[in-house]
Amino acid sequence: MSSQISSSSPCRVLVVEDEPSIAENIDYCLRTEGFEVSIVGTGEEAIKTLALVAPGFVILDVGLPGISGFDVCREIRRHSSVPVLFLTAREDEIDRVVGLELGADDYVVKPFSPRELAARVRAILRRSAATSAPQETAKSASAGSLLAIDPETRRASWNGQSLTLARYEFGLAQVFAAHPGRVYTRDQLMDLVWDEPDASLDRTVDAHIKSLRSKLREAGAPEDLIVTHRGVGYSLKDDR
Ligand code: CA
C-alpha cells in the first residue's frame, strides 16, 4: 500500500476556490462522481494542503485573494506533476493560461456546469494515467512508499504494520509520505506540522523525528527510512 493514490482508492481532488457557492457546487458534483474532495480558499492554504494530502488532481481558480492561481501553479510545478485545471473568469486570464508555460493541463471558463467540469477532470486523469503508469509501478517498490497514511481516519502503517503515532509524529509522517525523497528543512516541517511554529524550537522537530523513527523501526522499517540531510533537514527514503 502506498500513500499515493492507488488505482483502487478514489482520487482526491484539491479545489482552490474563494467563492463558497462555486466551491460547494464543485464539491457536491465531484463527490457524486466518486471523488474525494478537499477545498481551500487561498493559494497559501493550497500550498500547505498540497504537502499534507498529496491530491491526485488540482482545480485552481486564477483569481484568489493573496497569491494568484498562477503563482500557486508555479509553486506546485516546482515539486509535482499532479494534473492542474484552471478556473478562469476573464478573457485576459484565459490568454495567460494558454500563453504562459505554467504547466496547466486544461482550463474551464466561468460560469461552467459542474458536470462538464467533472467530465473534464476524468478525461485528464485518464490521459495522465496512461502516460505515468510505469513510473507509479516502480514507485511502489521503494521502502518509503510502504509508509501509508490515511488523513481521514488518522491511521498510519508501514508495510501493513500499523503504527501508533502521537499527533506530531503523525503530522511528520504525513508530510514525508506525501512526497517521498523530498528534503524538508526543520523550518518547513515546523510550518507544516506545528500549529504555533514560533513557540517551538528546531530540536522539537529532531525529538519527534527520533520518536517517529523508533516506532517505524519497531514496525520493521529500515534504520534509514527517514534520511538525515546534515545541515539541511530530513526526507523519506526514496530508493526507486
Ligand atoms: Ca475567485
pLDDT digits (tens, 9 = 90+) for 134-191: 444 444 457 788 898 888 788 899 888 889 998 889 999 999 988 888 888 888 888 8
CA of 122 to the centre of ligand 1 (A): 23
pLDDT digits (tens, 9 = 90+) for 59-86: 999 999 999 998 999 888 887 888 999 9
**Alpha carbons 47 and 37: distance in angstroms, whole number:** 16
Q: What would the DSSP string read from start to end of 146-159?
A: GEEEETTTTEEEET
Asked whether the bond before 55 is cis by omega within 30 degrees of 0, the reply is no
The partner residues of 149 in beta bridges, in order of sequence, read 156
Whole-number Cα distances in Å, 76 to 14, 61, 141, 175: 12, 14, 25, 15
CA of 14 to the centre of ligand 1 (A): 15
Tally Cβ neighbours within 10 Å of residue 51.
21
CA of 57 to the centre of ligand 1 (A): 19
What percent of the chain is modeled with pLDDT above 90? Answer: 36
> Helix, strand or coil for residue 160?
coil
Please tell me which residue, 238 or 236, carries the higher pLDDT value. 236
| Mean local confidence (pLDDT), 101-118 | 84
Is pLDDT of 120 > 60? yes
Is pLDDT of 102 > 60? yes
Please tell me which residue, 139 or 95, carries the higher pLDDT value. 95
Query: Which residue ranges form the domains of the chain, and what is each CATH number?
Result: 2-129 (3.40.50.2300), 133-236 (1.10.10.10)
pLDDT digits (tens, 9 = 90+) for 43-52: 999 999 988 8
Owner of C-alpha cell 509535482? 80
CA of 24 to the centre of ligand 1 (A): 13
Q: What would the DSSP string read from start to end of 50-97?
A: HHHH--SEEEEESS-SSS-HHHHHHHHHHH----EEEEE-SHHHHHHH
What percent of the chain is modeled with pLDDT above 70? Answer: 86
CA of 55 to the centre of ligand 1 (A): 21
